[in-house]
Amino acid sequence: MDECIFCNIKKIAEQGILYEDKQCYVALNQYPVRRGHLLVVSKRHYKDMTDAPSKLLSHMAPIIKRFTLEVNNIFKPKSIKVITNIGDEEEILHFHVHILPLYEERAADPHIKGYKMRKKISEGEKGELLKKFKKYEKNK
């Protein structure tokens, strides 16, 4: 198997972790489609949702809900997509869920261009977004 970016601990730490437990973590997407684009990632390697155990899915569901609400409260998007891909649409074969805010401007679907063709998040933007989430958590 090629090196999996989500299995590489050093790469995970670079993403800007918002939440972590023994089974999953939530991080800023390093190649966001839109501001506030998060990833909820299984720590154990499963190729996609169909490969992951139901117990893991049950564990991740309230975490996905929590961060979907946080994105909604922090960024006030028009709507939010919660997406996981199975098969050819997925570039990184490691189970993860996108929390993708939609604003007035509608960019193309996140996988049309491919993550490597999107602009990487800047360190300044990453720091700003991490502060917004930490401030929100503190004020809840």
Whether 1 is covered by a domain: the verdict is no
Whether 41 is covered by a domain: the verdict is yes
Q: Closest by alpha carbon to 39, among 12, 76, 57?
A: 12
Whether 2 is covered by a domain: the verdict is no
Whether residue 22 has pLDDT greater than 60: yes
Write down the H helix ranges in the chain.
9-14, 54-75, 110-113, 123-139
Q: For 28-59, what is each residue's pLDDT tens digit?
A: 998 888 899 999 999 999 999 999 999 999 99
Q: What gap in Å lies between CA 38 and CA 36, rounded to an integer? A: 6
Whether 4 is covered by a domain: the verdict is no
pTM of the complete model: 0.80
CATH code assigned at 75: 3.30.428.10
Q: For 62-109, what is each residue's pLDDT tens digit?
A: 999 999 999 999 999 999 999 999 987 778 899 999 999 998 765 555
How many CA atoms, within 13 angstroms, populate the side-chain half-sphere of residue 51?
A: 14
Q: How many C-beta atoms surround the C-beta of residue 130 within 10 A? A: 14
Whether 85 is covered by a domain: the verdict is yes
Whether 3 is covered by a domain: the verdict is no
Q: Which two tokens stand for residue 97?
A: 């869920």
64-84 CB burial, b ≥16 within 10 A, e <16: beebbebbeebbebeebbeeb
The domain in which residue 68 lies consists of 9-139
Which carries the bigger pLDDT value, residue 60 or residue 116?
60
Query: What is the identity of the amino acid at 17?
Result: I
* Number of domains into which the chain is organized: 1
63 with 39: CB under 8 angstroms? no
